A and B are shown apart, each in its own frame.
Chain A
């Protein structure tokens, strides 16, 4: 675990450093710029889906989906980040405690 934490930290830091050390034209190609802007959208959306539905390598609908729905409502109401997280976790914990969803 420690090795992967240090490698990942070094790698993401090197990405930042790279931008200051490389000549500007190398990364300023339009296609690269566009792709880097779109990558976070794809990855974050995929992470939302996977973390909501995956149980190891199976798909499941459980209390996490309800938590995500509550998070959407909170975001639509422009709630701050921490509130979004707390209401999602709390609603999930509640329906589990009530035994309505696994």
Chain B
């Protein structure tokens, strides 16, 4: 996300909102191609991959779910990992509630479309409720459509191959996770980025150290404890830093 800086004068008009939303949708559709392909390589059917994109509709959780399944981690660990990654969507919804003020009947569809991209766009165009809503729904619908089309083409493409491993799809999985992680390591201030790198490296090290001792999938869950520890530790030190 980011990198889109329109002129201030035209920033909030529906045309520029829709154009940005379309661009974001096309870009995430490309993600979805790899999601569909990786799903099939991990043992899901085309319909199962599509079900995840239609109803889970949150990229990192979907990648994690099929990653754990593919590694033989089992259903429970896959579900827990997907939900831990999806927990941030609860916070997105909380901050979007007052911005979008969705009517009761619209809440179910608003919830479905609550993802990184639609949240970022709604909060970026927060100069009016109308602009926020437009940005949220244009981005959410655009991403939803392209995400599902991409998933379908990716899974159909991969299931046409006799052995997806031969194309290096097993290496596409960590590369995909790294690409999802990358903006969180490079997108903040330099001190934030240093913290995120430290957290990422610690978490990776903990997970790797646990691989020989735990069944597949569990090392990743244990790495969540590193985030908990970091939140407690940095919580105590964050006030003096903010006072600088």
Residues of A within 8 A of B (CB): 1-13, 15-22, 24, 27-28, 30-31, 33-54, 56-59, 63-64, 66-68, 70-72, 75, 80-82, 84-86, 88-94, 96
How far is B168's CA from A93's CA once the two chains are assembled, in angstroms?
5
Instruction: Using A37-B88, A49-B205 as known contacts, list a sample of 16 further A-B pairs with CB atoms less than 8 Å apart, ordered by residue number in A.
Output: A1-B75, A2-B48, A7-B75, A8-B83, A19-B96, A27-B90, A34-B234, A40-B88, A43-B85, A44-B60, A45-B201, A57-B212, A57-B213, A57-B214, A68-B171, A84-B179
Contacting residue for B206 out of A46, A57, A63, A84, CB 8 A: A46
- CB-nearest residue of chain A to B231: A35
Determine the chain A residues whose CB is within 8 A of the CB of B78 once the complex forms. 4, 8
B58 at interface, CB cutoff 8 A: yes
Q: Find out whether the CB atom of B87 lies under 8 angstroms from the CB atom of A15.
A: yes
Contacting residue for B211 out of A53, A81, A86, CB 8 A: A53
Q: Find out whether the CB atom of A27 lies under 8 angstroms from the CB atom of B174.
A: no
Q: Find out whether the CB atom of B83 lies under 8 angstroms from the CB atom of A47.
A: no
> What bracket does the count of chain B residues touching chain A fall in?
35 or more
Q: Find out whether the CB atom of A39 lies under 8 angstroms from the CB atom of B87.
A: yes
B171 to chain A, nearest CB (A): 3
Q: Find out whether the CB atom of A46 lies under 8 angstroms from the CB atom of B91.
A: no
B136 at interface, CB cutoff 8 A: no
Contacting A at CB under 8 A, from B97-130, are: 97-98, 102, 107-108, 110-112, 114
Q: Find out whether the CB atom of A48 lies under 8 angstroms from the CB atom of B177.
A: yes
Q: Find out whether the CB atom of B91 lies under 8 angstroms from the CB atom of A33.
A: yes
B230 to chain A, nearest CB (A): 5
How far is B109's CA from A56's CA once the two chains are assembled, in angstroms?
39
Q: Find out whether the CB atom of B85 lies under 8 angstroms from the CB atom of A40.
A: yes
B224 to chain A, nearest CB (A): 6
Max count, chain A CB within 10 A of own CB: residue among B87, B168, B172, B174? B168
Q: A91-B168, A92-B170 are in contact. Are A85 and B176 (CB under 8 A)?
A: yes
Contacting residue for B204 out of A40, A49, A56, CB 8 A: A49
Contacting residue for B82 out of A11, A46, A48, CB 8 A: A11
How far is B82's CA from A16's CA once the two chains are assembled, in angstroms?
13
Determine the chain A residues whose CB is within 8 A of the CB of B226 once the complex forms. 42
Q: Find out whether the CB atom of B168 lies under 8 angstroms from the CB atom of A71.
A: no
Determine the chain A residues whose CB is within 8 A of the CB of B67 once the complex forms. 47, 51
Contacting A at CB under 8 A, from B74-92, are: 75-76, 78-79, 81-92
Q: Find out whether the CB atom of A56 lies under 8 angstroms from the CB atom of B168.
A: no
Determine the chain A residues whose CB is within 8 A of the CB of B27 once the complex forms. 80-81
Determine the chain B residues whose CB is within 8 A of the CB of A53 once the complex forms. 208, 211
